[in-house]
Amino acid sequence: MNGTKTRKIAAVYVDVAAEGTDKLFDYEVPDDLVGEVRIGSRVQVSFGSRKRMGYVAGFPESTTAPRLKPILGLMDLVPPLTPELVRLSEWVARTWLCPVIHVLHAMVPAVLKGRYQRVLSIPPDGETSVLLSEGESHLFSLLREKGELLQEEALALPGVTRPLLRRLVEEGRLSVEERVGDGITSRRRTWIGPAMDAEVLREAAEELPSQAFRQREVLNFFLKHPEDILLSHLLAALGISRSTVDRLTEKGLLRREEREEYRDPYVDRSFNRSRPLPLTSEQQQAFDAILVPLRQRKDHAILLQGVTGSGKTEVYLQAISETLEMGRQAIVLVPEISLTPQMVERFKGRFGSQVAVLHSGLSGGERFDEWRRIQSGEATVAIGARSAVFAPFTDIGLIIIDEEHEGSYKQEETPRYHAREVARRRCADHGAVLVMGTATPSVETYFRARTGGYQWVTLTERVHGRPFPQIEVVDMREELRAGNRSIFSRPLSDGLTACVNRGEQAVLLLNRRGYSTFVMCRECGGTVECPRCDISLTYHRTNGTLRCHYCGHAEGVPKSCPTCGSIHIRYFGTGTQRVEEELAKRLPGLRVIRMDVDTTNRKGAHEKLLTAFGEGKADVLLGTQMIAKGLDFPRVTLVGVIAADTMLHLPDYRAAERTFQLLTQVSGRAGRHEMAGKVVVQAYTPEHYSIRMAAAYEGEPFYREECRTRKRHRYPPFCGMFKVLMSHPDRGALMQAAHQTARSITPLLPSGTELLGPVPAPIPRIKDRYRIQIMIKYDNHIDEESEWVDALRRLRTGHTDPNLRVSVDREGF
Ligand code: ADP
Ligand code: ZN
Ligand code: ZN
């Protein structure tokens, strides 16, 4: 070192996915970027012989690297991530054993991973009369001439530097827009407004020659509506051409303005403003419970257990309002499927454009725009599914997780994470309050609340004081004994007839998980399985094919049994199509809307079907789990569950919990309004405690029973688990790898930790790959730096067989 210049070192997570790269690499920050590169900045670096992007995670004092390569470029003027989010990504990676770069990628909108250009322009009110430096005057005069400039062009101007651009952007005098590929990530629209006061306009209108009646019409329009209007709307409203407006702007009577516009997916929707409702005494208590830690800026977690219709959402809204008044921000997580326009409306109606909505239905550009509104501070409430937990707020006061028990809060592909645990972590970092709302908490959350880990607040009454519907459980074995071989029990079919005759509506739920139509031979009992996966093919009646739900394989229905040649083949199980056909047979003329993966795969289809049902265009809404939540239709008075216990046979320790939750949620759908409701639950094992207790509204007894069961069999919340899933096209090679893995890990395990397996996975083969799993159960608190956890971490990439795939998942905290 020459001693006159101190090196500035940046530690970077580089976007490469090879063994041994999940760590920080040091780079030198070039002089012109010192102070510009920050923690959370995206930078370009060279890695090996390639150019890669990376995220800056820190600035170490010294490095062990013999020779530092320089950072080649800074990719954003404002870093897309905050230091808190960078630390959070490290925590997520450590907790769920995945590379940090995967988490960093998951935190930013997908367009930031693409190729892009940065374009500078002057925002509508960005010009000020303050004295300009040399750089500024060059920049602004060129911008006024050309409208916009590439960032590189601007930096080539004398006196224009990165710090100057950043300052101008921060002061709001310059706007910067990122264009990805050839798509444009933001758009500008032309607005027109009066440039003179009413007096002048009126005079001008009178003085116009009579053939200029169109111009007069425009001026009269602005005399009546003096506010700015989109040019396109003005043209459409008056049926005039652009030149008419141009004439008036040339005369200086009207003013035109180009404004940058965020793509707002809700732009064509007007939201009814709503006001806070006076709270019921139960709601008030819940609200107060949130307020105390909120005002103290204390990291605090609350389980808000409230029956369906108890007014949890109103409590959320008022708590958010309080948070915003403190100048802080709020995140609301809802399951993707509940993120309906009605749900969004409740938040937009209260907080207007302060609400940013993040969900998977948005285009890449729309999502980016919503994200930027959060980043720039324009939006202060983020509402969205799982990944909205990473919203780049800097001062979070409140995080709400609605329907806390939902399985979709867990991401099942890398980076695997549980949004609830991430939310807890962010609340700790921000001194924020976490509110977990649900009628049926997950067993883990229930247990934590009961043992004092969370504050537990309950709402036991429905706001409008309506009783819960009566739940009738029908034993389908009895029905069979009585000679009824149909899908519908007598009580359900009678109930349907009566309901429809009264002109009311019914919802029929088919619990599809682990239950579908398959073909079985009555001679030998053989089923038709997918040739590539160890799973029965599903019969699709519409096109008469058998399909595999895992790999998409399709084939025709065999005329005879592929195993024994018998022609006595029949279809078993109950798909939605089959139920629909039965309904048509039993109740001819019945109008049915079917909602399942087949009818809802197109964008917007889900919403369209629900709207049609809400408008009374059908008598029955028939569907899978996707109809169980978030619906609120006043004319629904009957809910039928076709087979409540299909989930109970799945090899999943949550089966009882999920069954209880589903039944409880679905009964909350009936009779929410003036009309009384009824629920009919059909089951083959009605004596199972999850069904019995859901039907009797025995929540507390169910949770106690379930905790006893989990404790006895050692499942979360009484332990934590790592699940190692290995797959390989060669069964022998897989067995060998799995046993070797088990042998190498076992000696490292501390006492109280047990390794189970290797055993075949619940689906032993998918797409010609055999699957084996190993489970490790441990006492809840582990040291993530310990040797055995590190060994698990290295399983994913630490092998040489290119055909072997390993994933590690973690559950139970
Ligand atoms: P939950 O989220 O617990 O299922 P909701 O928030 O949807 O319950 O409330 C159920 C219904 O009660 C909604 O229509 C809501 O507008 C209404 N509601 C909630 N709180 C009040 C209140 N304090 N006064 C009057 N109506 C209320
Ligand atoms: Zn056969
Ligand atoms: Zn298959």
Neighbours of 381 (CB within 10 A): 27
The CA distances from residue 295 to 93, 286, 328, 434, 700, in Å, are 32, 15, 11, 13, 32
524 annotated as a binding-site residue: yes
479: which 2 tokens?
């029905």
The one-letter amino acid at 228: D
Average pLDDT over residues 712-722: 92
Contacts of 82 (CB under 8 A, 6+ apart): 39, 40, 392, 394
Ligand 2 center from residue 523 Cα (angstroms):
5
Q: What is the overall mean pLDDT for the chain?
A: 85
DSSP result, 138-162: HHHHHHHHHSEEEHHHHHTSTT--H
pLDDT band at 219; cut points 50, 70, 90? very high
470: which 2 tokens?
């009566």
Atom of ligand 1 nearest to the CA of 310: 3
- Identify which ligand lies nearest to the alpha carbon of 528: 2
Ligand 1 center from residue 550 Cα (angstroms):
41
Residue 87 has pLDDT above 50, yes or no: yes
Residue 1 has pLDDT above 50, yes or no: no
Query: pLDDT exceeding 90 applies to what percent of the chain?
Result: 40
Please tell me whether residue 337 adopts helix, strand or coil conformation: helix
Ligand 2 center from residue 567 Cα (angstroms):
8
Residue 84 has pLDDT above 60, yes or no: yes
CB-based burial of residue 261 (10 Å sphere; 0-12 exposed, 13-18 middle, 19+ buried)? middle
Ligand 3 center from residue 651 Cα (angstroms):
20
Rounded CA separation 24/144 (Å): 43
Condensed to tens digits (0 to 9), the pLDDT of residues 110-137 reads 777 755 567 888 887 766 556 678 888 8
Select from 558, 566, 568, 559 the least CA-distant residue to 537.
558
* Residues 717/812, Cβ–Cβ less than 8 Å: yes
Rounded CA separation 376/353 (Å): 13
Between 198 and 772, where is the model more confident? 772
Q: In this structure, which residue's CA is closest to atom 15 in ligand 1?
A: 311
Query: What is the model's pLDDT at position 3?
Result: 40
Query: What is the model's pLDDT at position 519?
Result: 64
Contacts of 486 (CB under 8 A, 6+ apart): 493, 582, 586
- Identify which ligand lies nearest to the alpha carbon of 343: 1
402: which 2 tokens?
């609605």
Atom of ligand 1 nearest to the CA of 402: 2
Q: In this structure, which residue's CA is closest to atom 24 in ligand 1?
A: 277
Please tell me whether residue 90 adopts helix, strand or coil conformation: helix
Pocket test for ligand 1, best of 314, 406, 438, 466 (most atoms within 8 A of CB): 314
Rounded CA separation 638/619 (Å): 11
Query: What is the model's pLDDT at position 514?
Result: 38
Determine the topology of domain 720-811 in CATH.
Alpha-Beta Plaits (3.30.70)
Superfamily of domain 470-517+573-710: P-loop containing nucleotide triphosphate hydrolases (3.40.50.300)
- Identify which ligand lies nearest to the alpha carbon of 525: 2
* Domain extents in the chain: 8-113, 117-180, 188-261, 281-463, 470-517+573-710, 522-567, 720-811
Ligand 1 center from residue 463 Cα (angstroms):
6
Between 371 and 600, where is the model more confident? 371
Q: In this structure, which residue's CA is closest to atom 19 in ligand 1?
A: 311
Rounded CA separation 519/525 (Å): 10
Residue 21 has pLDDT above 90, yes or no: no
Residue 334 has pLDDT above 50, yes or no: yes
Domain 281-463 has CATH 3.40.50.300: yes
Query: What is the model's pLDDT at position 17?
Result: 74
User: Which of 184-188, 406-410, 482-486 is predicted least confidently?
Assistant: 184-188
Residue 323 has pLDDT above 90, yes or no: yes
Rounded CA separation 361/199 (Å): 49
* pTM, two decimal places: 0.79
Ligand 2 center from residue 559 Cα (angstroms):
11
Average pLDDT over residues 595-622: 79
Condensed to tens digits (0 to 9), the pLDDT of residues 157-172 reads 888 888 888 888 888 8
Rounded CA separation 432/299 (Å): 5
Average pLDDT over residues 303-313: 92
Select from 790, 804, 675 the least CA-distant residue to 722.
790
User: Which of 109-118, 429-438, 531-540, 699-708 is predicted least confidently?
Assistant: 109-118
pLDDT band at 287; cut points 50, 70, 90? very high
Pocket test for ligand 1, best of 346, 463, 672 (most atoms within 8 A of CB): 463
Q: In this structure, which residue's CA is closest to atom 18 in ligand 1?
A: 311
Contacts of 696 (CB under 8 A, 6+ apart): 471
Ligand 3 center from residue 806 Cα (angstroms):
20
User: Which of 114-123, 284-293, 738-747 is predicted least confidently?
Assistant: 114-123
The one-letter amino acid at 147: G
Condensed to tens digits (0 to 9), the pLDDT of residues 380-419 reads 999 999 999 999 999 999 999 999 999 999 998 889 999 9
pLDDT band at 182; cut points 50, 70, 90? very low
CB-based burial of residue 23 (10 Å sphere; 0-12 exposed, 13-18 middle, 19+ buried)? exposed
Query: What is the model's pLDDT at position 428?
Result: 97
The CA distances from residue 604 to 172, 198, 340, 385, 608, in Å, are 37, 45, 10, 17, 6
Please tell me whether residue 12 adopts helix, strand or coil conformation: strand
DSSP result, 492-538: HHHHHHHHHHTT-EEEEE---TT---EEEETTT--B-B-SSSSSBPE
Query: What is the model's pLDDT at position 454?
Result: 96
Residue 449 has pLDDT above 50, yes or no: yes
Ligand 3 center from residue 537 Cα (angstroms):
8
Select from 319, 209, 318, 328 the least CA-distant residue to 274.
318
CA–centroid distance for 111 within its chain: 17
- Identify which ligand lies nearest to the alpha carbon of 532: 3
Average pLDDT over residues 519-527: 68
Residue with tokens 């076709």, as numbered in its chain? 642
Atom of ligand 1 nearest to the CA of 439: 3
Rounded CA separation 181/117 (Å): 8
Pocket test for ligand 1, best of 275, 305, 313 (most atoms within 8 A of CB): 313
Atom of ligand 1 nearest to the CA of 346: 16
Ligand 2 center from residue 560 Cα (angstroms):
8
Average pLDDT over residues 359-370: 79
Atom of ligand 1 nearest to the CA of 313: 6
707 annotated as a binding-site residue: no
Query: What is the model's pLDDT at position 782?
Result: 85
Residue 4 has pLDDT above 90, yes or no: no
Ligand 1 center from residue 442 Cα (angstroms):
23
Backbone angles phi, psi at 23, to 5 degrees: -160, 175
Spell out which residues line ligand 1, taking CB within 6 angstroms: 277-280, 283, 306, 308-314, 463
Query: What is the model's pLDDT at position 94?
Result: 93
Average pLDDT over residues 692-707: 93
User: Which of 594-603, 610-619, 791-800 is predicted least confidently?
Assistant: 594-603
Rounded CA separation 573/312 (Å): 38
Between 526 and 415, where is the model more confident? 415
Select from 274, 247, 284, 460 the least CA-distant residue to 355.
274
Residue 2 has pLDDT above 60, yes or no: no
Neighbours of 451 (CB within 10 A): 9
Q: In this structure, which residue's CA is closest to atom 17 in ligand 1?
A: 311
Average pLDDT over residues 161-189: 70
Query: What is the model's pLDDT at position 264?
Result: 59
The CA distances from residue 507 to 469, 634, 660, 672, in Å, are 14, 12, 18, 13
The total number of residues shown for the chain amounts to: 813
Positive or negative torsion for Cα 704, 705, 706, 711: positive
Rounded CA separation 394/328 (Å): 8
User: Which of 18-22, 159-163, 427-431, 505-509 is predicted least confidently?
Assistant: 18-22
Average pLDDT over residues 552-560: 82
Backbone angles phi, psi at 167, to 5 degrees: -60, -45
Query: What is the model's pLDDT at position 513?
Result: 46
- Identify which ligand lies nearest to the alpha carbon of 536: 3
Strand partners, 47: 50
Average pLDDT over residues 97-120: 82
Determine the topology of domain 8-113 in CATH.
GIY-YIG endonuclease (3.40.1440)
Query: What is the model's pLDDT at position 7?
Result: 65
Atom of ligand 1 nearest to the CA of 316: 6
Average pLDDT over residues 423-440: 97
pLDDT band at 183; cut points 50, 70, 90? very low
Rounded CA separation 581/593 (Å): 12
Ligand 3 center from residue 771 Cα (angstroms):
13
Ligand 2 center from residue 238 Cα (angstroms):
74
Please tell me whether residue 204 adopts helix, strand or coil conformation: helix
Fold match between domain 281-463 and domain 470-517+573-710 = yes
Atom of ligand 1 nearest to the CA of 463: 12
Ligand 1 center from residue 254 Cα (angstroms):
47
- Identify which ligand lies nearest to the alpha carbon of 530: 3
Condensed to tens digits (0 to 9), the pLDDT of residues 630-666 reads 456 778 888 898 888 777 766 788 889 999 998 888 8
Q: In this structure, which residue's CA is closest to atom 23 in ligand 1?
A: 279
Query: What is the model's pLDDT at position 598?
Result: 67
Please tell me whether residue 773 adopts helix, strand or coil conformation: strand
530 annotated as a binding-site residue: yes
Q: In this structure, which residue's CA is closest to atom 5 in ligand 1?
A: 311
Rg from Cα positions in the chain: 31
Atom of ligand 1 nearest to the CA of 306: 3
Average pLDDT over residues 435-441: 96
Condensed to tens digits (0 to 9), the pLDDT of residues 38-63 reads 999 999 888 887 778 899 999 998 88
719 annotated as a binding-site residue: no
98 annotated as a binding-site residue: no
